[in-house]
Structure 1
Amino acid sequence: MRLEAFRVQNYRSIVDSGWVKIDDIAVIVGKNESGKTSLLRALLKFKPFKPDPYSLDREWPRGKRKDRSAAFEVVTARFLFSDEERAKLAAVDPGYVGLEGIELGKTYEGKFLPRYQPHGVPSARNGASANALLGSDVDKLLIGKPAEVAKTLKDVLTAANPNFADADAAKAKALIPEVKGQLVEAATLMGDAALAQVIGSACDAVLTKLAQSPWDEAWKLVHKWIPTFIYMDDFLAFKGTAHLNQVKQRKDANQLQDDDRTIITILEMAGLDLDEEVTKGGENDREQRMLDMNDASQTLTNEIAQRWSQKKYEVQFNADGYHFVTFVKDESAKALVPLEERSKGFQWFFSFDMKFMYETDGDFAGAVILLDEPGLHLHAAAQRDLLARLKAYAENNQLVYTTHLPFMIDMNRLDNIWIAEDRPGEGTKVHNEWATADKDARFTLQAALGLSWAQSLFIGQKNLVVEGVTDFWFLSTLSTLLGEAGETGLAEDLVVTPAGGASKVAYLATLLMGQELKVAALLDSDEEGLKAQKQLVHNWLLADGDVLMLGTVVGAAGTYAIEDLFDSTYYLEHSKAAYAKELGGKAIKLPAKPEGSIVDRLALHFESQGLTFNKGRVAKRIMKDLATKQAKDLPAATLDGFRKAIAAVNAVVARWS
């Protein structure tokens, strides 16, 4: 069964949470004390791995004492049946055909209240069902028997059929012994004593089955299908070191702490018994103890490797007397390190994976995982890794987690984000109306949205950083025009990102490299471009071959910028048109000696006329012109320049592949 939606009522700070829908993942966003933890705790007790009953005295909301009732439904959950489950229910009784799911409530006293969807189900089997059961079972027994035997027994069933069909459940059950006697007698008279005995046993089995109502049979199936709910908060990470005799004392006194429970779990998964290890801790056979620890270490390591492909752990146990130490490393670590000396993030991952494996019997599937503020002690990059890990958990399970951290929100999944807020007089409410959320919840979402906008620059595995937006416009547009003409454009999996100036290229490249992405840069061959190249290459951010200088790319000496890729006559034509009003019909006269880029020379000319030249203004006019053009309409010099630039960039991308 798959959880479709849930609702919590009259539990701690929650009067009525409202319905919360869930697909594979649901994220509950809200400030501290908004009721997020209460929501998850109530859900955990719906079907925990180990019994954890609701407490009417401790968990019923304060101020509502007159309404207290052990029969009150704390959690209501809607589940959908799989195709296989629907088929099994239909086989129980025809009345179960067409069922899509079930709404299950659980009361404070621990009773489940099932409501099948979209229709009710029969509570008792009728006579026709009894006849169908008996007839079906006898038919199976007659396979391979002589025709006269089969006919005789079928005649008995045919004679009984009207009585079955018209009878209610009680009368149908009363008829079974009579029909049984007739069938056994017929088989005996024909000399088949073995068949008579088998028929008798079959009739007894049918009678036993009829004593159960189809509701009971179906509920046994449904109860078995309810997924296990697994809970963990950020503070349940196992520290790895313990004094086993003290753990046993707390266990015997029924005063186990969270760390104790985790270590007992890990011992069990490694094939160790707490009581036995405490006994061995007082003995002097160090060699056998070492062998036992070695065997247990390998047992758990193998178990993890076989069951959990997301992370490769190696575990080693060490015990000296009662002192027990867990050493762990993963595939990224070079040495075994005591677990409590690993990072908070590693401790959390390892502890949850152990809990996850234990509470799903090693299947890592079919559970509803409840995580309270995961990643609270992780830095931003680790929170990003945790998000990816949560998606792995949700591949074969369902996941509900709470957070107030912007980096823990996946803005690509807006449909699964819910708001939790404590409203005066109403208690905790959970909803997906962002606009009505309190300012704290809105702040988290706004921050996450801002991060997603920033991160949208980094959406490619292969990235080219250029100086400005005009570089982006020109390269992308000419690449498209060349591609439409059947020539080679920029690699399709390359993302071009403007940095906002040559001085910012190194910063943006650093951010992209921090995301473990492939990065190259295309710079103007001018003073600012050369400074940026020095920053990138000399500081070992990028390899020399991944930093392209435009002048070098096209084989031009001196200063060279993106605008110089255009035919000079074409560029001057659009510059004159862009400044027609200011120029008043005057011609543009560039210096006879072409020193500097065309933009530099235009800037000098405009300055001599008392004007200021803005290359962005010309770029907008060129972009408008290019929108109406095909590659064949452009000057050959323009196409040649951009072909060389695109070829150089593609050569870098090809080296990455």
Structure 2
Amino acid sequence: MKAKLTKFRVVNFRSIEDSGWIDAENVTCLVGTNESGKTNLLLALWKLNPANEEPIVPLVDYPRKKYHNYSNTNGEEIFIRAEFELEDAIADELSNLTGWHLNLMKDVVVSRKYNGDYDYSFVKNKLLSFQGNDLMSLFEKLISAFLISNLQSKEEKEDLRKIEQFINSEKGKIDEFKSYSQLEIIEIRKVFESFLETSYKRKVNINGFFNDHFFDDISKIIQAFEENGIEVTEGCITTIESSLPTFVYYSDYGNLDSEIYLPHIIDNFNRTDLGEKERAKSRSLKVLFDFVNLSPKQILELGKEALPERIIEYTTDYQGRKTKTNERVEDAKEVNIELERKKKKEREILLQSASTSLTKDFSSWWQQGKYIFRFQADGNHFRIWVSDDKRPDPIELEGRSKGLQWFFSFFLVFLVESKDSHSNCILLLDEPGISLHPVAQMDLIAFFNSLASENQLIYTTHSPFLVSTHNLSGVHAMYVGDSGESVVSNDLRANQKIAEKSIYPIHAAIGITVSDTLLIGCQPVLVEGISDQIYLQQIKKYVLAEGKYKNDKEVVFIPTGGVKGMSPVIRILLGREENLPYVIMDSDKPGIDKIKQLHNQLYSNNKDKVIPVSTFTGEGEFEIEDLMPKDELARLFAKHYRRVNSEDEFDYIYDKNAPIVNQMEAFAKENGYELQNGWKVDIAKDFQRNFDRIISRCGDDIKQLWINLIEKITV
């Protein structure tokens, strides 16, 4: 995508007073009860840049209890802000327009007001550090430019060799995993200036090359460390607007009827006073006819019959007065009958062609059966027939399952509204697949993940079967606050406040992912918390990718909400099957005490199924975090918690041989940070987001430890 949505914030829109900033992943899930405000959150985001030009309707969209204030605002209030990360080509274009380094151009905030106007701003006002991998890219770009420059034909070979050797030598000093300060970047520039001053002071071509391909870029980097006010010019706005994704919103109530009365549809297409549900259905019908590449008016015109003609004869007297003398009905003329035949044949071929195309495209999306669609037009009526490999007799769409009806309607809306810009639209799905069987709902998650390779997707649900076990960093809970406002939280632990007001009474005792184990023959492994689950999911992801996973069953890690939740969850799972589940426990004091209790009671004959982290790390108060590459966790923690009283940042002073969580807590205390509940989950989410980068530089010892762990629980 040209611009990736990274987070958004809704303010004063319907039931939402202030959602706070909500992180957006490739697939983001909003979980909550009915009336918690999930739909309103999607609607506000949709109206930022709707694919179908959906209007802002203040009478409906402005908070009802505050509407008396709206006349004083002139629609100048912002109701949606969204932060986007631009691809490098767009950031580079903005860099050329503003003169600032592209690292300051990558992140923009786009806001929309109730009057429809937009505001634009850049997120970063200055650089706090410059990443080594970006600096390495600068050197690689310099070398590439040097090798194809006209210096190769104009300068002496010895000079060329010396220059290339110098650049490569300086490149070799760059640590791509380090964060560089402004002073360090200035020192790099000084080295280049000294090299040219000493060896090539009088060489105009060589100095000109370095000015164009190095000093301009390095100066922009140094400048970007200074506080600045970057002006968003008209040129910037044009560039940003052209890269923004459109939003395609879909909900259940736009499902198509199997029989469509064309005159009624033609009338609705021209109306602006339809209610929300009727407008949604009209929208679904519009995309259907766009797909067929015909308008309802054309279908009616092509289906007109050659009717008999009524002939009336008159006589005219000398005063010019007409008198009816005869009336008869004549059969339709042959020329009209032939024209009718051609038009109906044309309509039949067009509908057949569209049906075949739809059937082919739909089969690549829907895996629950092989369906064949047929469009039929009969007079004023348009019908949709469906058959499949198991039931070959065509049945009207309305007679098929609600799940198929939903998916068919959603498929059309996505296919038509996003048109050729599939790779630059974001899908907003309100309660998707609620009418699907739980097995099909789980298939829908897999379908969402496949869509997310090109299209970001945000969906709402209150079904536990639509919460992905592999993407907890993208799950947010919603509930109704004390004053009736909608509240969004990324705290997925079963704390009392959210458990009472969100969906967690359903499965607070056994964690989000137990729905998977209840559905299919999975192998459950119990862990203490959500952060443990996230880390272990990533371990399993690596082992699977390496082809080292040898178990027939899918391993599902179930967080129990701490050591107190272990025994109740174990008993629940024992009600489902006789085998005791594996348990992975931290080796801190609460964990060791619980291990002893389990060994003496439920696991007295299966002690090997209770696995302390110390099995893999050696003795000490080690936790799941200590099974991860500690240097990476230290960097992630340091980004959240900067030094205040310490002599250096956490990632420079931690002890890699000691339990890292204890060190994090001690560092936070020393520097005046009060670690909030869920801070470990935030670090785990960052780890999950950066896992592909982390695994690329992870040591073999850690990777082998992960393989050993998975083998331990899949015996």
Scaled by the length of structure 1, what TM-score is found?
Answer: 0.54
Deviation at 1:333, TM superposition (A): 6.0
Q: State whether structure 2 residue 442 is matched by structure 1 residue 437.
A: no
For 1:622 and 1:322, locate their aligned partners in 2 and report how far apart those are by CA, in whole Å.
72
5 Å-filtered alignment, 1:225-236, equals 225-236=243-254
Other structure's SS at 1:328 match: strand
Q: State whether structure 2 residue 444 is matched by structure 1 residue 386.
A: yes
Other structure's SS at 2:513 match: helix
For 1:623 and 1:254, locate their aligned partners in 2 and report how far apart those are by CA, in whole Å.
65
Deviates more, 1:89-98 or 1:389-398: 89-98
CA gap of 1:78–1:330, structure 2 versus 1, over 3 A, is farther
Q: State whether structure 2 residue 559 is matched by structure 1 residue 494.
A: no
Deviates more, 1:273-282 or 1:241-250: 273-282
For 1:48 and 1:343, locate their aligned partners in 2 and report how far apart those are by CA, in whole Å.
29
Give a deviation string over 1:236-278, Cα, whole Å, max 9, x none.
1112320112211233444563333322321221121221222
5 Å-filtered alignment, 1:119-130, equals 119=125
For 2:55 and 2:283, locate their aligned partners in 1 and report how far apart those are by CA, in whole Å.
18
5 Å-filtered alignment, 1:311-390, equals 311=366, 314-329=372-387, 334-390=392-448
User: Any conservation in 2 of the 1:407–1:448 contact (CA below 8 Å)?
Assistant: no
In structure 1, the residue matched to 2:171 is none
Q: State whether structure 2 residue 299 is matched by structure 1 residue 277.
A: yes
For 2:488 and 2:27, locate their aligned partners in 1 and report how far apart those are by CA, in whole Å.
15
Deviation at 1:96, TM superposition (A): 6.0
Deviates more, 1:373-382 or 1:34-43: 373-382
For 1:387 and 1:407, locate their aligned partners in 2 and report how far apart those are by CA, in whole Å.
9
In structure 1, the residue matched to 2:118 is 112
In structure 2, the residue matched to 1:403 is 461
Deviates more, 1:437-446 or 1:334-343: 437-446
- Could you say what the CA RMSD is over the residues aligned between the two structures, in angstroms? 3.7
Identical columns (%): 27
User: Any conservation in 2 of the 1:289–1:319 contact (CA below 8 Å)?
Assistant: no
CA gap of 1:382–1:277, structure 2 versus 1, over 3 A, is same
Deviation at 1:418, TM superposition (A): 0.9
For 1:39 and 1:59, locate their aligned partners in 2 and report how far apart those are by CA, in whole Å.
11
User: Any conservation in 2 of the 1:90–1:96 contact (CA below 8 Å)?
Assistant: yes
In structure 2, the residue matched to 1:100 is 106
5 Å-filtered alignment, 1:436-585, equals 436-443=497-504, 446=507, 449=510, 452-453=513-514, 455-456=516-517, 492-495=550-553
Other structure's SS at 2:45 match: helix
For 1:291 and 1:457, locate their aligned partners in 2 and report how far apart those are by CA, in whole Å.
53
In structure 1, the residue matched to 2:29 is 27
CA gap of 1:115–1:425, structure 2 versus 1, over 3 A, is same
User: Any conservation in 2 of the 1:298–1:315 contact (CA below 8 Å)?
Assistant: no
> Which of the residues 65, 75, 80 maps onto 2:80?
75
For 1:296 and 1:496, locate their aligned partners in 2 and report how far apart those are by CA, in whole Å.
45
Other structure's SS at 2:478 match: strand
For 1:24 and 1:78, locate their aligned partners in 2 and report how far apart those are by CA, in whole Å.
14
Give a deviation string over 1:583-615, Cα, whole Å, max 9, x none.
xxxxxxxxxxxxxxxxxxxxxxxxxxxxxxxxx
CA gap of 1:110–1:286, structure 2 versus 1, over 3 A, is same
CA gap of 1:280–1:217, structure 2 versus 1, over 3 A, is same
CA gap of 1:494–1:50, structure 2 versus 1, over 3 A, is closer
In structure 2, the residue matched to 1:297 is 352
Q: State whether structure 2 residue 477 is matched by structure 1 residue 419.
A: yes
> Residue 375 of structure 1 aligns to which amino acid in structure 2?
G
CA gap of 1:288–1:116, structure 2 versus 1, over 3 A, is same
> Residue 304 of structure 2 aligns to which amino acid in structure 1?
G
* Unaligned residue ranges in structure 1 (runs of 5+): 121-212, 464-489, 498-507, 513-521, 523-615, 625-657
Q: State whether structure 2 residue 486 is matched by structure 1 residue 428.
A: yes
Scaled by the length of structure 2, what TM-score is found?
Answer: 0.50
In structure 2, the residue matched to 1:217 is 235
For 1:104 and 1:308, locate their aligned partners in 2 and report how far apart those are by CA, in whole Å.
37
Deviation at 1:50, TM superposition (A): 2.3
How many residues align? The count is 394
> Residue 83 of structure 1 aligns to which amino acid in structure 2?
D
Other structure's SS at 1:297 match: helix
Q: State whether structure 2 residue 89 is matched by structure 1 residue 89.
A: no
Give a deviation string over 1:30-58, Cα, whole Å, max 9, x none.
11111111111111111111222323333
Give a deviation string over 1:95-125, Cα, whole Å, max 9, x none.
36331210111000111110113139xxxxx
Larger Rg: 1
Other structure's SS at 1:348 match: helix
> Residue 33 of structure 1 aligns to which amino acid in structure 2?
E
For 2:447 and 2:469, locate their aligned partners in 1 and report how far apart those are by CA, in whole Å.
16
CA gap of 1:253–1:95, structure 2 versus 1, over 3 A, is same
* Unaligned residue ranges in structure 2 (runs of 5+): 127-230, 307-339, 524-547, 556-572, 580-601, 611-715
Give a deviation string over 1:345-370, Cα, whole Å, max 9, x none.
11111111110011111443322211
In structure 2, the residue matched to 1:555 is none
For 1:255 and 1:460, locate their aligned partners in 2 and report how far apart those are by CA, in whole Å.
52
CA gap of 1:119–1:454, structure 2 versus 1, over 3 A, is closer
5 Å-filtered alignment, 1:589-600, equals none
Deviates more, 1:302-311 or 1:384-393: 302-311
User: Any conservation in 1 of the 2:362–2:411 contact (CA below 8 Å)?
Assistant: no
In structure 2, the residue matched to 1:16 is 18
In structure 2, the residue matched to 1:240 is 258
For 2:62 and 2:607, locate their aligned partners in 1 and report how far apart those are by CA, in whole Å.
69
Deviation at 1:13, TM superposition (A): 1.0
